[in-house]
């Protein structure tokens, strides 16, 4: 899979993408990652990517005459047509299902918002807009990194155990059950006996019950979606 990001701070990405599971994904050939500097498409001495909004108001707006040529040029860098995603607080909320959908694509192009957002005319090139939650960040780079991470770890050959992704929170609509490891007892707290029993059917039943209970306690809205 190829992922491109377009940002005014492309240097923010490499320290994250070079490490942990993202770094492993690149080493194994599962991920091709490229960060592009939006300022490379500017045509003035100050490399300006924003301007004051028509009609007045606070802040600055990202310029359509810079964004559109940049997106078009990046899209043309590979024969695979990218799915273009703008990161913006006005987008749909990113989730595990969307990560799985993206992992099934050949190529993504993530366009990182800044300032007061994009000139509305630039959205003509967006296949969709994504937010990572109901809050506002300084820029879309962190949101793009969340999308890259959540998507990449679902690619084939990335996780050491192929069952890991299928067994996590949100993958089945529930939060993940509690996990334990050695020692079996720590400061008076014991691992539940069922996990030490070797009875896999009983363990599976316990884990499901715990997932349902945790979801009911923490995210009851998820149970509503399952009904």
Helix-then-strand count for the chain, H and E: 7, 9
Whether residue 60 is contained in a domain is answered as yes
Task: Say if residue 61 is in the same domain as residue 103.
Answer: yes
Check which CATH number belongs to the domain holding 213 and give it: 1.10.1270.20
Per-residue pLDDT of the chain (227 residues; tens, 9 = 90+): 999 999 999 999 999 999 999 999 999 999 999 999 999 999 999 999 999 999 999 999 999 999 999 999 999 999 999 999 999 999 999 999 999 999 999 999 999 999 999 999 999 999 999 999 999 999 999 999 999 999 999 999 898 665 565 556 565 789 999 999 999 999 999 999 999 999 999 999 999 999 999 999 999 999 987 76
Whether residue 180 contacts residue 137, with contact meaning beta carbons closer than 8 Å, is answered with: no
Q: Say what the pLDDT of residue 225 is.
A: 76
Whether residue 182 is contained in a domain is answered as yes
Whether residue 66 is contained in a domain is answered as yes
**Residue 201 lies in domain:** 169-226
Domain boundary among 87, 120, 152: 152
Residue with tokens 């047509």: 81
Q: Say what the pLDDT of residue 171 is.
A: 59
Whether residue 128 is contained in a domain is answered as yes
Run of H or E residues at 220: helix 220-226
Whether residue 39 is contained in a domain is answered as yes
Task: Say if residue 136 is in the same domain as residue 58.
Answer: yes
Q: How many domains does the chain have?
A: 2
Task: Say if residue 112 is in the same domain as residue 14.
Answer: yes
Task: Say if residue 40 is in the same domain as residue 96.
Answer: yes
Whether residue 15 is contained in a domain is answered as yes
Task: Say if residue 113 is in the same domain as residue 220.
Answer: no
Task: Say if residue 136 is in the same domain as residue 174.
Answer: no
Residues 64-85 as b/e (b if ≥16 CB within 10 A, e otherwise) read: bebbbebbeebbeeeeeebbbb
Domain boundary among 127, 152, 177: 152
Task: Say if residue 34 is in the same domain as residue 141.
Answer: yes
Task: Say if residue 134 is in the same domain as residue 180.
Answer: no
Q: Whole-angstrom Cα distance, residue 136 to residue 131? A: 9
pTM over 0.75: yes
Task: Say if residue 99 is in the same domain as residue 202.
Answer: no
Q: Say what the pLDDT of residue 14 is.
A: 97
Whether residue 157 is contained in a domain is answered as no
Q: Report the first-to-last Cα separation within the chain, whole angstroms.
A: 35
Task: Say if residue 186 is in the same domain as residue 126.
Answer: no
Pairing of β 128-131 and β 107-112 = unpaired
Task: Say if residue 84 is in the same domain as residue 139.
Answer: yes
Check which CATH number belongs to the domain holding 72 and give it: 3.40.1280.10
Task: Say if residue 195 is in the same domain as residue 133.
Answer: no
């Amino acid at each position: 899979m190829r992922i491109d990001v377009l940002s005014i701070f492309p240097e923010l990405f490499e320290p994250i993408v070079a490490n942990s599971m993202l770094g492993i994904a690149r080493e194994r050939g599962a991920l091709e990652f490229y960060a592009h500097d939006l300022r490379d498409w500017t045509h003035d001495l100050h490399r300006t990517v924003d301007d004051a909004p028509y009609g007045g108001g606070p802040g600055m707006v990202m310029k359509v005459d810079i964004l559109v040529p940049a997106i078009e040029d990046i899209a043309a860098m590979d024969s695979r047509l990218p799915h273009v995603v703008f990161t913006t607080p006005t987008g749909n909320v990113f989730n595990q299902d969307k990560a799985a959908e993206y992992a099934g694509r050949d190529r993504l192009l993530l366009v990182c918002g800044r300032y007061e957002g994009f000139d509305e005319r630039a959205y003509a090139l967006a296949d969709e807009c994504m937010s990572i939650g109901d809050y506002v960040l300084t820029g879309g780079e962190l949101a793009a990194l969340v999308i890259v991470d959540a998507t990449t770890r679902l690619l084939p050959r990335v996780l050491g155990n192929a069952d890991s992704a299928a067994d996590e929170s949100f993958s089945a609509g529930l939060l993940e059950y509690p996990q334990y490891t050695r020692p079996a007892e720590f400061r008076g707290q014991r691992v539940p006996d069922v996990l030490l029993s070797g009875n896999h059917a009983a363990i599976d039943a316990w884990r499901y019950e715990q997932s349902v209970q945790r979801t009911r306690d923490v995210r009851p809205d998820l149970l509503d979606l399952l009904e």
